[in-house]
Amino acid sequence: MSMVHVTATVNDDEVEFLCDPRETLLDVLRDRLGLTGAKEGCGTGDCGACSVTVDGRLVCSCLMLGAEAEGKSIATVEGIADGENLHPLQEKFIEHAALQCGICTPGILVATKALLEKNPDPTETEVRYWLAGNLCRCTGYDKIIRAVMDTASDLRKAS
Amino acid sequence: MDRPNGFKFVGTRPDRPDGMDKVTGRAKFGADATAPGMLHAAIVRSPHAHAKILKIDSTKAEAMKEVKAVVTRADFAEGLTGENWNILENVMAGDKALYDGHAVAAVAATTPLAARDAAKLIAVEYEVLPHVTDVDKAMAEGAPVIREGAADKSVPDGLHANVVRYHESGHGDVEAGFAEADLVVEESFKTEATHQGYIEPHACLGQLGSDGKGELWCCTQGHFIVQKTCAALIGIEASQLRVTASEIGGGFGGKTTVFIEPVALALSRKANRPVKLVMSRSEVFRATGPTSSTSMDVKIGMTRDGTITAGEGVFRLQGGAFPGAPADLTAMCAFAPYALKNVKQTGYDVMSNRPKQAAYRAPGSPMAAFAVESVIDELCKKLDLDPVEVRLKNASKEGTKSSFGPRFDRIGLVETLEAAKAHPHYSAPLEPGQGRGLSCGFWFNHGGETSVSLSLSEDGTVALSVGTPDIGGSRASMCLMVAEELGIPYENVRTTIADTATLGYNDVSHGSRVTYASGLAAIKAARDVVNKLCARAANKWGIDKEAVIWEDGCAKPAGPNAGDFEPLPLARIARTMGRTGGPISGHFEATPEGAGMSFATHIVDAEVDGETGQTKVTRYTVVQDAGKAIHPSYVEGQFQGGAAQGIGWALNEEYIYGEDGRLQNAVFLDYRIPVASDLPMIDTVIVEVPNPGHPYGVRGVGETSICPPLAAIANAVSDAAGVRLTELPMSPPRILDALERQAHG
Ligand code: FES
Ligand code: FES
């Protein structure tokens, strides 16, 4: 099958790649660009482990084709920290022990960062519904929710 | 407990050492590895629940230029026996496909897409056979036989050939006990199979060269057992295969065996290139271990004052197309929380056309607790007794002869019940339409073969190597325990999961054993290092080694008689160790036996919508004995995670088989695990009744947390709905059914 040539931006870097038209954006990120932070938990849009943003919108990268990334700006977990400085969400996730195995963490960080950019003052219920598409099997979500609420409150104080 | 002066590090909550890697996406999980020249593999699976394999034709697949190897059962070892044979039969079908999703062939190609295309071109001819997937039907007369001669000697005569193991235990005279009771309640229960549901599908990267030497990278709870099993299944010496455990994205018992690893190695051997094999989610559901499904009868007698006079239980478990369902453990756990004069439990391990069951957190115990604790709840309701008081009255304590035989050592059940009673949740008023449920739970915990090593660097830091994959933050606990012993900062200890060529044998991370057994070994290895540090100091000072003690990270003279010397900190001894006798390291290897049994009490409030049958858990409190919490955040995390999985099991999760014996819900959309909006915050109380078998009193905490929830939630739902729920999951249709039956009386 002939390959598609794609130019896009990933975490502010220009990237170019060739991909099979059947490959998902997740396949491209992981297998062609070496960005294995986004995970495949299901491949059917049900677990959120593959969450990235495309032009600022939260998407499951397993549900989008690599070829559709042409001209788009993609952000993954690898781009959340500002150089050496972790994003406050990343710090709070460590501090609150909001991860056990950590396989869901990249997707949940990408998703919650998108939430806080939209809604800096979410209620617990809003956080829970926003994260309803991100499965975590280890934590029971308690510490994740606390980490997000705590980050939101810190960020509000700082701004 | 041998730290009379209390702890400096243990019990604090420092950042986990792998935190940075895990929040930045750097951590390498099973599917994140690559190798030069790597091929990708795909597996061909049976669409039938039970079928003879007549012919496998891979000509078309092999004609694809991207395809480099195809394997079938013929490419694996012959002449295996016992559990290795079972595992091989499960990894790659022999004469028969035994369940929907059973692997029958595999292919390696240059890209994942080509491998998937090629798998579709492999033509398998089947002769479909009658199948059975329900446990009661599988042991009934006339059920299709999964495998003749699979039963062992424990099975009494006259049972169906699918009953392959039998267990009976207990003491006293249950009939006499029932005669003493003021009320006897007898009830039957069923639970469906659930999946561990780890978010990371199984993944591995294997290489087996023509020199017969192999390398394997995989996500597993135990790379040493993977090494042993893979080597046996592909017919090489274990020593020729080095296995490295990746970061693991959840296991919960489901990653304690092999599924795809031997296949990747067999393909690699044939193609002479590294092969990566990653399961899809539906493969995980169809072909990796769910729990057993069960059918249970429980009968309990009680006097008016709440004394249990006798308990009897029959537990039937189907564990898929192989022996191994934990019918014995289920039976043994059932009445463990209670000190009973008369108790009898029977277990049946039954084969059916389902995937080979695998361990899932305290295998068997949650189902047993569901049945027993539901009956106790019913007795409390009918006799108008308080559920905590009744449990306190009958609770097992130190010295109690357990329902499964031995006497209990120091245990903390009573303490968890007292803490539950004192918790504001227990006395909080309920809203209309809500119900409250309570349950106890028990798990044995395990020690297991363990070996660690600890080496000192010249910069005064230490490196600990353990052989138990970190499935929930255990590296942080290891670092804390070593820091405690050596008296150096937590940050100065680095814990690594060593590969199979670097360390002696280690059992799997299961049985809640890691913080207990690897922790115990780490403490002993640190003490070994301390001895050597003291010897260096003694040498330097020219005094006896016995006259040197270790305190606050320094060697010090034991007392005024030992001499007057400046304390020597670890870093100073380390800096000069090259000149004072060479490298310093400590090690420890053992199979510790004092794992310390574990109990929990959970309280749940639930709300049932009578119109839709939907249940919402509105409040949840976990009280569990941790012995000693090394890193309390991760102990709480285990409590919360177990409770959440229990909520899924109780309310939603189930394997649904069609008439055709095919699994109908092999995706997360249809096999729905709890999402954030389904759950409340999960409150935790850590009770600490020290385990005499661990230097700091640690008991494992990973499994017990899933034992009480099924029963506690069922009791809450039954309370809210006004009708006893006896089948799991309590999904909306089942609840509506129960309400309807109640209404029509
Ligand atoms: S992998 Fe994309 S949602 Fe699960
Ligand atoms: S931490 Fe393991 S799935 Fe979320």
Looking up tokens 């919108």 gives A57
User: Which backbone phi and psi does B397 adopt, to 5 degrees?
Assistant: -135, 180
Ligand 1 centroid–CA B417 distance in Å is 41
The predicted model gives B150-163 an average pLDDT of 97
CB within 8 Å: A101 and B248: yes
Last residue of a domain, one of A79, A98, A133: A79
Q: Does B644 touch chain A (CB under 8 A)?
A: yes
For residue B53, is pLDDT > 70?
Answer: yes
Q: Are residues A26 and A67 in the same domain?
A: yes
Our answer on whether the CB atom of A8 is closer than 6 Å to any ligand 1 atom is: no
Q: Which residues in chain B are closer than 8 Å to A28, comparing Cβ atoms?
A: none
Residues of chain B within CATH 3.30.365.10 domain(s) are 19-26+447-590, 293-445+596-743
Kindly identify which residue of chain B lies nearest to residue A126, measuring between CA atoms. B677
Q: Are A58 and A96 in the same domain?
A: no
pLDDT score at A1:
62
Cα(B286)–Cα(B281) distance, integer angstroms: 9
Residue nearest atom 3 of ligand 2, based on CA coordinates: A136
pLDDT per position as a tens digit, B567-586 = 999 999 999 999 999 999 99
Does residue B344 surpass a pLDDT of 90? Answer: yes
A74 and A11 fall within a common domain: yes
Give B634's contacts in chain A (Cβ within 8 Å). 97, 100
Domain of A51, CATH number, reads: 3.10.20.30
CATH of domain B33-129+200-249+255-287: 3.90.1170.50
pLDDT for B433: 92
Asked if the C-beta of B116 comes within 8 angstroms of chain A's C-beta atoms, the answer is: no
Q: What pLDDT score was predicted for residue B185? A: 98
Q: How far is the CA of A103 from the centre of ligand 1 (A)?
A: 12
**Whether residue A63 is found in the same domain as residue A127:** no
B31–A39 C-beta distance less than 8 A:
yes
Residues 6+ apart with CB under 8 A from A86: A94, B20, B23, B24
Q: What is the mean pLDDT of residues B498-524?
A: 96
A70 and A123 housed in the same domain: no
Of chain B, the percentage scoring pLDDT greater than 90 comes to: 97
A49 lines ligand 1 (CB under 6 A): yes
Closest CB to A128 among B472, B673, B676 = B676
Nearest CA owner, ligand 2 atom 4: A136
Cβ–ligand 2 contact at A99 (below 6 Å) = yes
Third-level CATH fold of B19-26+447-590: Aldehyde Oxidoreductase; domain 4 (3.30.365)
Instruction: Say yes or no: A54 and A14 in one domain.
Output: yes
Domain count, chain A: 2
Nearest-angstrom CA–CA distance, B62 and B107: 9
The strand order across the sheet containing B568-569 reads B548-551, B554-557, B568-569
**B455-469 tens-digit pLDDT:** 999 999 999 999 999
Question: Exposed, middle or buried, B580 (CB in 10 Å: 0-12/13-18/19+)?
Answer: middle
Among A44, A79, A114, the domain boundary falls at: A79
Span from the CA of B590 to the centroid of ligand 2 (angstroms): 31
Using the predicted structure, report yes or no on whether residue B296 has a pLDDT greater than 70: yes
Interface contact flag, B199 A104, Cβ < 8 Å: yes
- A129 interface with B at CB cutoff 8 Å: yes
Q: Measured in angstroms, how far is the CA atom of residue A106 from the centroid of ligand 1?
A: 12
> What fold, for B293-445+596-743?
Aldehyde Oxidoreductase; domain 4 (3.30.365)
- What's the CA gap between A133 and A48, in Å, rounded? 6
- For residue B5, is pLDDT > 90? no
Give me the residues of A, 2-61, that contact B with CB < 8 A.
20, 22-23, 27, 30-31, 35-44, 46-47, 49
pLDDT tens by residue, B398-441: 999 999 999 999 999 999 999 999 999 999 999 999 999 999 99
Listed in order, the ranges of chain B carrying CATH 3.90.1170.50 are 33-129+200-249+255-287
Identify the nearest ligand to the CA of A52 by its number: 1
Q: pTM higher than 0.95 for the full model?
A: yes
Per-residue confidence (pLDDT) for residue B324, from 0 to 100: 97
* pLDDT interval class at B4 (50, 70, 90): low
Q: Given CB atoms, is B23 within the 8 Å cutoff of chain A? A: yes
Contact A101/B at CB under 8 A? yes
Contact B732, B614 (CB under 8 A): yes
Q: Answer whether A47 contacts ligand 1 (Cβ < 6 A).
A: yes
User: Does residue A48's CB lie within 6 angstroms of at least one atom of ligand 1?
Assistant: yes
Same domain? A36 vs A74: yes
Let me know whether A18 and A68 are in one domain. Answer: yes
Q: How confident is the model at residue B210 (pLDDT cuts 50, 70, 90)?
A: confident
Q: What is the mean pLDDT of chain A?
A: 97
**Looking at beta carbons, which residues of chain A come within 8 Å of B640?**
139-140, 142-143
- pLDDT(B283) > 60: yes
Q: Which letter, b or e, does each residue of B591-605 get, where b requires 16 or more Cβ atoms within 10 Å of its Cβ?
A: ebeebbbbbbbbbbb
Confirm or reject contact between A143 and chain B (CB < 8 A). yes
What is the average pLDDT score of chain B? 97
Report residue B624's pLDDT band, with 50, 70 and 90 as the boundaries: very high
Same domain, A46 and A93: no
Give B643's pLDDT tier (boundaries 50, 70, 90).
very high
Q: Which two tokens stand for residue B284?
A: 């995980």
State the CATH number of the domain containing residue A109: 1.10.150.120
Percent of chain B with pLDDT over 70: 99
Two tokens, residue B458? 């010249």
Q: Which domain holds residue A56?
A: 4-79
Q: Which of A79, A97, A125 is the last residue before a domain boundary?
A: A79
CB neighbour list of residue B228: distance below 8 Å, 6 or more residues apart: B238
Both A75 and A116 in one domain: the answer is: no
Kindly report, residue by residue over A83-137, the tens digit of the pLDDT: 889 999 999 999 999 999 999 999 999 999 999 999 999 999 999 999 999 999 9
CA distance linking residue B573 with residue B584, whole number of Å = 10
**Same domain assignment for residues A101 and A66:** no
Q: For residues A75 and A95, state if they share a domain.
A: no
